[in-house]
Homo-oligomer: A and B are copies of this chain.
Amino acid sequence: MSLRNTFLAAGMLALAALSFSASAEEHYTLKLAQTWGPNSPILGDTTKRFAELAEAMSDGRVTVRIDAANKHKAPFGIFDLVRNGQYDMGHTASYYYKGTIPNAMYFTTIPFGLIAPEMYAWFYHGGGMELMQEVYEPYGLLSFPGGNTGNQMGGWFRKEINSLEDLKGLKMRTPGFAGEVMSELGVAVTNLPPGELYTSLERGVIDAVEWVGPALDFPMGFHQIAKYYYSGWQEPSAEVQFLVNKKTWERLPEDIRQILTVAMRTAAYDMYIQSMHESGVAWSRMKADYPDVTHKVFPPDVIQALRETTNRLLNEFAEKDPMAKRIITSQREYLKQIRPWVNISDKAYLESVAGQ
């Protein structure tokens, strides 16, 4: 039983109101706006988990009220909602705001960059947190890692991609930076609303679609239409973010801040693990129910062209913007340091036991 509850139980409420400072007895309701819908799997589970952890650890002194996209109507406006103080917190992905705050996108993912545990190592030990805070600071925001989808797949294709030639004229839904890279290679990139993707793929309006990975692709049903499922390059991990209004933060007592910080950190790690689990379940089920579904990797010339184009675009961003340069360089240097280890450990192990 908490001190607050004990106090109420002792029937001494009047005394409390007189004797104790407001901050000690105060109850904090934090309003959180999320990009996701009200019953969004994995992403929505993460904000619920964060709220539950914060409420339980604070013994009810904190309540987190989550508004989903159907409520606030601004799924890609979370940055503004929290910055303007309409919400205390947000849960979204930094790269949705590349128009307003272009340097934030590198904290979600960089194509051909870090896988999830490498990304966390960069955030917590490689200077990533400090750079992210520097980018959000001028907007009166704090930002924290908010969960990882894990490695994202390259997409569902109706035809095999055997060479760079096969990409030319291909109609594909793939948004953002990946779309820019693909379009440089001759792909006709379209960005249709999620609700139209299945039908568009079925009717041949598009030939390919990139979404996330098995867990979130499964409910979309693309595996019922497109046979080839390609491994990815564009989001080797994708970290979403918690945003916190700094004025709200500064009004909270230190122990509550600690509780919120740890609740965000745990909810983020938990999302990575949940994503991995649910992708395992979904991929097993897809293969069992649709034996025609085939996993493919892009041929080396396609990977090389995607990589060269990615690096050229990143170099252009870096040349134009000193902060972009610092972030891109930091991640590249970190990758050079950590990847050789990942290659001789998890990669070598997974290879040595594959197919036996």
Contacts and interface: CB of A to CB of B under 8 A. Distances in A.
A340 to B, nearest CB: 6
A3 B1 contact: no
Given A115-B349, A151-B346, A266 B262 contact: yes
Nearest to A259: B57
Interface stretch (A17-25, A98-106, A176-184, A321-329): A17-25
Given A24-B3, A255-B59, A273-B121, A115 B350 contact: yes
Interface in A310-327: none
A180 B232 CA distance: 40
A242 interface: no
A231 B7 contact: no
B266 A232 contact: no
B303 A353 contact: yes
Contacts of A112: 353
B356 A303 contact: yes
Q: How many copies make up the complex?
A: 2
Q: In the complex, which range does the number of interface residues on chain A fall in?
A: 35 or more
A143 to B, nearest CB: 18
A268 to B, nearest CB: 9
Contacts of A124: 270, 273-274, 277
Interface stretch (A28-36, A77-85, A195-203, A281-289): A281-289
A213 interface: yes
A151 B345 CA distance: 6
A118 interface: yes
A2 to B, nearest CB: 5
Given A3-B24, A59-B255, A276 B340 contact: no
A66 interface: no
Interface in A97-153: 112, 115-118, 120-121, 124-126, 150-151, 153
Contacts of A279: 341, 345
Contact of A24 (B6, B153, B266, B283): B6
B350 A347 contact: yes
A219 interface: no
A14 interface: no
B115 A116 contact: no
Interface of A: 1-4, 6-7, 10, 12, 19-21, 23-25, 53, 56-59, 112, 115-118, 120-121, 124-126, 150-151, 153, 213-214, 229, 231-233, 236, 253-255, 258-259, 262-263, 265-266, 269-270, 272-274, 276-281, 283-284, 287, 295, 297-298, 300, 303-304, 307, 337-354, 356
Given A117-B273, A262-B266, A297-B352, 18 more contacts: A1-B24, A2-B24, A2-B255, A3-B4, A10-B20, A58-B255, A59-B254, A112-B353, A124-B273, A150-B345, A229-B344, A231-B352, A259-B259, A280-B337, A280-B339, A283-B344, A287-B340, A295-B344
